[in-house]
Amino acid sequence: MKGARTRQSILERAVDLASTDGLEGLTIGRLAEELSMSKSGLFAHFGSKEELQLAAIEAARERYITEVFRPALGAERGYPRLQAICRGWLDYVRRGVFPGGCFFAAASFEFDGRPGPVRDAIVATMDTWIGALEKAILMAKDEGHLRSDVDPALLAFELNSLFFGANFAFHLRGDQQALAKAEAAIDIRLRGVAKKGRRKVA
């Protein structure tokens, strides 16, 4: 019980560290020092650095679902929910849910050229996310909110690209208009596929 709580607090810190320094830049020594515990004591919770990385990915996924994705499911299915996901994503960038910017964008670009179990876990997480986005689009089609010729896989690709682009412009470039641009771009795209009577995004 206590072990599980300790493990969870280690992972929250690990996720924050990895979002700024990367999953490889995350080291057991610094993580232990920040938590004021011994390296070996922390290490005992995971058994290897790779297991720590995999557990951090899972913890980041849970944080993302709790803070960003699940709240959007409160909106009614169809266009409103798709809007809620988009607005929630931009808010996620603004709020800095991960201190070093989007954990998943960072992990994706860190591991896109390297094989191994960590990469595989990132790919699986991103496949699930893109799948969830496609499903929200498909629901909006089924509800008759989007035109029937909309390609969910294509639109999900576009929205995800704009999300990552917003993270890039906001966190790296410090573009003060980053979120306004992303919102405008999403608005343009969604208006292009919405059926009449559904025109506003913001």
Interface contacts to a copy of itself, rule CB under 8 A: 19-22, 24-25, 99-101, 105-106, 108-114, 119, 122-123, 126-127, 130, 151, 153-154, 157-158, 160-162, 164-169, 171-174, 177-178, 181-182, 184-185, 188, 192
Taking the C-alpha atoms of residue 165 and residue 21, their distance in angstroms, rounded to an integer, is 20
120 binds, among a copy of itself, DNA, none (CB under 5 to 8 A by kind): none
**According to CB under 7 A, which residues from 34 to 93 bind DNA?**
37-45, 47-50
Taking the C-alpha atoms of residue 17 and residue 11, their distance in angstroms, rounded to an integer, is 10
Taking the C-alpha atoms of residue 13 and residue 98, their distance in angstroms, rounded to an integer, is 10
Nearest residue (CB) to a copy of itself, 140 versus 155:
155
Q: Is 27 a binder of DNA (CB under 7 A)?
A: yes
Nearest residue (CB) to DNA, 41 versus 96:
41
Nearest residue (CB) to DNA, 46 versus 89:
46
Tokens of 177: 């208009």
Contacts by 157-160, CB closer than 8 A, 24 or more apart:
157/130, 158/189, 159/86, 159/133, 159/186, 159/189, 160/129, 160/130, 160/133
How far apart are CB 37 and DNA at their closest, in Å?
Answer: 4
- Give one word for 22, left, alpha or beta, with left for phi > 0 and alpha for psi -120 to 50: left
110 binds, among DNA, a copy of itself, none (CB under 5 to 8 A by kind): a copy of itself
